[in-house]
Amino acid sequence: MYNAKSSVAQEFINHEEILSTIEYARNNKNNYEMINDILQEAEQMNGISHRQAAVLLECDDKEVLTKIYNLAGRIKERIYGKRIVMFAPLYLSNYCVNGCTYCPYHAKNTTITRKQLSQEEIAREVMALQDMGHKRLALESGEDPHRNSIEYILESIKTIYSIHHKNGAIRRVNVNIAATTKENYKKLVEAGIGTYILFQETYHQKTYEEIHPTGPKHNYAYHTEAMDRAMEAGIDDVGIGVLFGLYDHMYDFVGLMMHAEHLEAKFGVGPHTISIPRIRPADDINVDEFSYAIDDALFKKIVALVRICAPYTGIIISTRESQKSREEVLKIGVSQISGGSKTSVGGYEKDENSDENSKQFDVDDNRTLDEVVNWLLKLGYVPSFCTACYRAGRTGDRFMRLAKSGQIVNVCQPNSLMTLNEYLIDYAKDETKILAQNVIDSELEMIPKEKVKNIAKDYILQMESGKRDFRF
Ligand code: SF4
Ligand code: SF4
């Protein structure tokens, strides 16, 4: 029985409810009256239900599609303005005991080079990331209770926060590790993590069990209920996602929306972020085996609908996506992107090619962080290295309250400009510097509150004399 507030995976991600939602969407395919009502409701920026979203996803009318993109673009513009938050993944270890059939780190892959970073190596990776200008990381690690124990992860987080190389600092460490116990989640809270990220991969239980044939990840319910344990343990910000291409996109899209609704219903706050990766080629993985791969047009539609369903949730895409594809989805929903990413263990310090055999997936966007920042500036965006909210205690429902009231913009706007200014002074190449300076100068004038504008200007001035890390 479907129950959004239930603690049982099969009740809040209820198979029958998903099937009935898909049927409902098919029965109302191109039902213009219903679609117009849904779009009008969505305009209020309070989100729409998984059933309504499914009706929009099912619709194949070109005019409606244009309306969906325009609406998603408006919501994005109203809530996020031109800001795009930057981050990078940091792979700690590719040892893994699971048998995921879509990931080269699966335990039976004997051709991949296995590696776990020592604390000294982590420190060197972090310095390399700081030298690029990164301030926000997503930690990635395979599941191996002995090698990649929670103690190892905690020690690694401590190391990362302790490194201050030149003017660099990693100010927010988001963590993407396997589903674990409430006790371990509490330890992550104490270590000061930002968001806990865990992808569901697919919400379809039978497929989930087939593509996770061995290892602890095989347990669908334990994995699906992980975010509940994390939030009960005190992690305010959680990030969910599916790997599109593993199963039918409609099923997984509905499941994803139901997961977001479940967190909102049970904890009063939905996911902080939603990631939308697509399956990519990798060592020992034949993507042709996954017949549910989605094309660029469908990918774009899904991003737009996630933006409409969850207006205040950050949408993340990685360098799995090409420059062209990223450009498309930035307009209609994506608010966070990675830049200059290496998907191998130890990839930042060394040339990626020397570690080619330890990476998780092929990157499609191979540009450096500076090239990505430059590109964003040219497209009219404001690349932001801001990490202020979690450091100021604006997490979970406190964050959502500010976001929904629209007040968050009062801090986002100056924070994005101040962190971009740090990037400009410390890391930007000449051309990027000029572009960033122009954007900062003009955007500072757009800050509506005179007091905030003057403080931001003063902070930026103080950066000339070497001061860093100002925030609202
Ligand atoms: Fe291991 Fe994660 Fe890869 Fe599965 S997806 S094999 S759990 S690293
Ligand atoms: Fe994100 Fe908060 Fe910074 Fe805005 S102020 S960019 S919401 S961390």
From ligand 1's centre to the CA of 245, what distance in Å?
A: 16
E-strand spans in 95-204?
136-141, 172-176, 196-197
103 lines ligand 1 (CB under 6 A): yes
Task: Please identify, by atom number, the ligand 1 atom nearest to the C-alpha of residue 212.
Answer: 4
Q: How many residues does the chain have?
A: 472
For 172, which DSSP code?
E
Kindly report, residue by residue over 259-286, the tens digit of the pLDDT: 999 999 999 999 999 999 998 767 777 7
366 Rama sector, left if φ>0, alpha if ψ -120 to 50, beta otherwise: alpha
Q: For ligand 1, pick from 92, 105, 199, 218 the residue to mutate: most ligand atoms within 8 Å of CB.
A: 105
Strand partners, 139: 90, 175
What pLDDT does 307 receive? 98
| C-beta of 116 in contact with ligand 1 (< 6 A) | no
d(CA 222, ligand 1 centre) in Å: 15
How far, in Å, is the centroid of ligand 1 from the Cα of 360?
A: 9
319 Cα to the center of ligand 2, angstroms: 22
The Å distance, Cα 410 to ligand 2 centre, comes to: 10
In this prediction, the residues of the chain whose per-residue pLDDT falls under 70 are 281, 351-356
Q: Where are the alpha helices (DSSP H) in 381-429?
A: 388-391, 396-405, 409-426
Q: Is 415 in the pocket of ligand 2 (CB under 6 A)?
A: yes
- For ligand 1, is residue 355 a contact (CB within 6 Å)? no
Tokens of 179: 């589903």
Single out the residue of 160, 105, 104 nearest to residue 284, CA to CA: 104
- Tokens encoding 38: 């849904």
Going from the Cα of 313 to the center of ligand 1, the distance in angstroms, rounded, reads 25
- C-beta of 400 in contact with ligand 2 (< 6 A): no
Backbone angles phi, psi at 242, to 5 degrees: -125, 160
At residue 304, the pLDDT reads 98
- State if residue 315 touches ligand 1 by the CB under 6 angstroms criterion: no
Ligand nearest to the CA of 79: 2
Q: Is the CB of 105 under 6 A from ligand 1?
A: yes
Whole-number pLDDT of residue 282: 75
- Other Cβ atoms less than 10 A from the Cβ of 221: the count is 12
Q: Which amino acid is at 326?
A: R
